[in-house]
Structure 1
Amino acid sequence: MRVILNVIWLIFGGLYLALGYLLAALICFILIVTIPFGFASLRIASYALWPFGRTIVDKPGTRPGALIGNIIWILLCGIWLAIGHLVSAVAMAITIIGIPLALANLKLIPVSLMPLGKEIVPVDSARTPA
Structure 2
Amino acid sequence: MLSLILNILWLLFGGIVMAAGWLLAAVIMAITIIGIPWARACFTMFVFTLWPFGREAIDREVLTGRPDLGTGMAGAIGNVIWLVLAGIWLALGHVLAAIASAITIIGIPFAIQHLKFAGLSLWPIGKAVVDREVAAEARRRAATMQVRTAG
Q: TM-score range by the shorter chain?
A: over 0.9
**Range that drifts further, 83-92 or 54-63:** 54-63
CA–CA separation in structure 2 for the residues paired with 1:124 and 1:113: 24
Q: RMSD over aligned Cα, in angstroms?
A: 0.9
Task: State the 1:10 CA deviation.
Answer: 0.5
Task: State the 1:17 CA deviation.
Answer: 0.5
CA–CA separation in structure 1 for the residues paired with 2:130 and 2:16: 20
* Largest Rg, 1 or 2: 2
Give identity over the alignment, percent.
Answer: 48
Task: State the 1:31 CA deviation.
Answer: 1.2
**Equivalent in the alignment of 2:37:** 36
CA–CA separation in structure 1 for the residues paired with 2:110 and 2:104: 10
Task: State the 1:111 CA deviation.
Answer: 1.5
CA–CA separation in structure 2 for the residues paired with 1:96 and 1:103: 12
Deviating 4+ runs (over 4 angstroms)? none
SS at match of 1:97: coil
Task: State the 1:71 CA deviation.
Answer: 0.5
1:105 matches 2:114 = yes
**Equivalent in the alignment of 2:103:** 94
CA–CA separation in structure 2 for the residues paired with 1:86 and 1:115: 16
| TM-score (structure 1 length as normaliser) | 0.97
Unaligned runs of 5+ in 2: 62-66, 144-151
| Greater helix share, structure number | 2
SS at match of 2:118: helix
Task: State the 1:3 CA deviation.
Answer: 0.6
| TM-score (structure 2 length as normaliser) | 0.84
CA–CA separation in structure 2 for the residues paired with 1:26 and 1:50: 20
